[in-house]
Amino acid sequence: MKSNLSYPCGGADHLSRRTLLKAAGVGGLAWLTPLADLLAFNAEEAPKGKPARSVILLWLAGGPSQLETFDPHPGTGIAAGTGAIKTALKGVQFAPGLEETAGVMGDVSLIRSMVSKEGDHERAIYNIKTGYRPNPTLVHPSIGAIVCHELPDAKVEIPTHISILPNQWPARGGFFGARYDAFQVDDPMKPVPDVATKIAPARQEQRLESLAVVERAFASGRRPDLDEHKTLHQATIARARRMMTSDQLKAFDVSQATASERAAYGDTAFGRGCLAAVRLIEAGVRCVEVTLNGWDTHANNHEGQAKQVKILDPAFAALIRDLKRRKLLEHTVVLCGGEFGRTPKVNPVGGRDHWPQGFSMLVAGGGFAGGRVIGSTDPTGTKEEPDKPVRVEDLHATVQAQLGVDSAKEIITPVGRPIALSEGRVVTELRG
């Protein structure tokens, strides 16, 4: 696909909470001993100009309509009655209901010309989260897995790749292995499940000592041809235990935030997830994905989109303001969008169908330029592609560049196949 943008030259089972604590795949988590380091991840420690080091992905699952969110065409046939409001950017309009988000656009850039070749939910989600189209021969890692793999942090006791309110397609570690899968949690107002022992500490220690006896017997009788790197379950269990006793788990608990802080995000699970994301990033987590389901509006599109916008608007705006206030925005890439957009044409039941030929994505922080708009879509809805199309792989390459990750770096997969972290090109217009 031809683009007018300028560029510089140049599978495993997913990890659940229960699986984690049963010692399957925790080996890649990073760990910290002193509690005093919990908030040592202060952005003031890093001088300006350093690469970003964390990512927050606000995942709008189902495919939000660009026309009822960030790319309205008021007064046109494709708008189907959707109006528009002003934003902080001169001449840039949003759909009604996004007033708070409109007010923070000086710190946010908008891509209105995202393009994908995938129009099926599962395939498109895979494409957006990994930067690659599905391939039956291997599973690619998500952007969060890449961040954790390429930027390991030895100062965190809790998982560094987290998915809040995940649906059936959470972020995966791909060929990096299950230890890089996202650690999945529900509404942050609830306790993190499966991290507290259900028996008395003394009995817990007794059980662990009994396990140690078995382990020592196993080690003494190990066959010489057994690969010890595939039997490091003792280290895995030790790391899980350290997480279970870590004070850093408090970063998940949004009830510790003030009432006014929680109110700013909206009284919704998604809003609380966004607040938790900020707290987790402050604690040193590399990537947090927060999911807002419900955007797949094949019928009653206007009503369905308006309902979701009401949840998204305060949460997104509060997240940007909060990151900025805590001096974390400069070092945290924020992405907000879904797997594709919705058709310019409204169907007979008042819905909009899948549309990967030109949809919107918000990007902020992490050294990205704020207050910019990239590309535009056709107000008639008849053109095959938008102006200045941005491919999915190009967005991935650009995010990786902001993180100081070499997207051309080749990884040798478990089957011996070399593959680059991204095959995209950096979009220079987005970089600050």
Please check whether residue 5 lies inside any domain of the structure: no
Are 92 and 110 contacting, i.e. CB atoms less than 8 angstroms apart?
yes
- Identify whether 115 is part of a domain: yes
Which letter, b or e, does each residue of 73-83 get, where b requires 16 or more Cβ atoms within 10 Å of its Cβ? beeeebbbebe
What is the rounded distance in angstroms from the CA atom of residue 339 to the CA atom of residue 36?
39
Q: Which domain covers residue 366, as residue numbers?
A: 17-430
Q: Name residues of the chain where pLDDT drops below 50.
A: 1-4, 6-47, 229-230
222 within domain boundaries? yes
pTM to 2 decimals?
Answer: 0.84
Instruction: Judge whether 12 lies within some domain.
Output: no
In a domain, 11, yes or no: no
Alpha carbon distance 70, 128 (integer Å): 18
Residue 337's CATH number: 3.40.720.10
Q: Tell me the pLDDT tens digit for each residue of 11-59.
A: 333 334 433 433 333 333 333 333 334 333 333 333 355 789 999 999 9
From 354, 341, 311, select the one nearest 65 (Cα to Cα): 341
What integer pLDDT is reported at residue 47 of this predicted model?
39
What pLDDT is stored for residue 208 in this prediction? Answer: 66
pLDDT digits 0-9 by tens, 328-384: 999 999 999 999 999 999 999 999 999 999 999 999 999 999 999 999 999 999 998
Structure tokens belonging to residue 170:
């959470």
Overall domain count for the chain: 1
Residue 9 falls within a domain, yes or no? no
